[in-house]
Amino acid sequence: ESIRELMRKANIPGKPYWLRHTFAQNLLESGASIIEIKEMLGHDSIKTTKKYLHIDIQLMREVLFDE
């Protein structure tokens, strides 16, 4: 069965993309690097991984300036 079918059977609204996006975003917010996230999602390109991530300014400051 596909993820979409399983989501429908479990009455989970949304699309499989949302699950991948949430997984990637949670990894980022937990301190994983974009390279690690890329590998976990199975992407060949960082460009693809970037589509799943939304880096907020505070998180960026924490990463760049160790705040």
Between 65 and 3, the more confident residue is 3
pLDDT at 67 over 60: no
Range of the domain at 36: 3-65
The CA angle 59-17-47, to the nearest 5 degrees, is 60
Q: Name the nearest CA neighbour of 12 among 3, 24, 23.
A: 3
d(CA 52, CA 54) in angstroms, rounded, equals 7
pLDDT at 9: 95
Q: The whole model's pTM is what?
A: 0.68
Residue 50 is predicted with a pLDDT of 86
Tens-digit pLDDT profile for residues 6-63: 989 999 888 888 888 889 989 988 989 989 999 999 999 999 988 888 777 677 677 6
Q: Report how many domains make up the chain.
A: 1
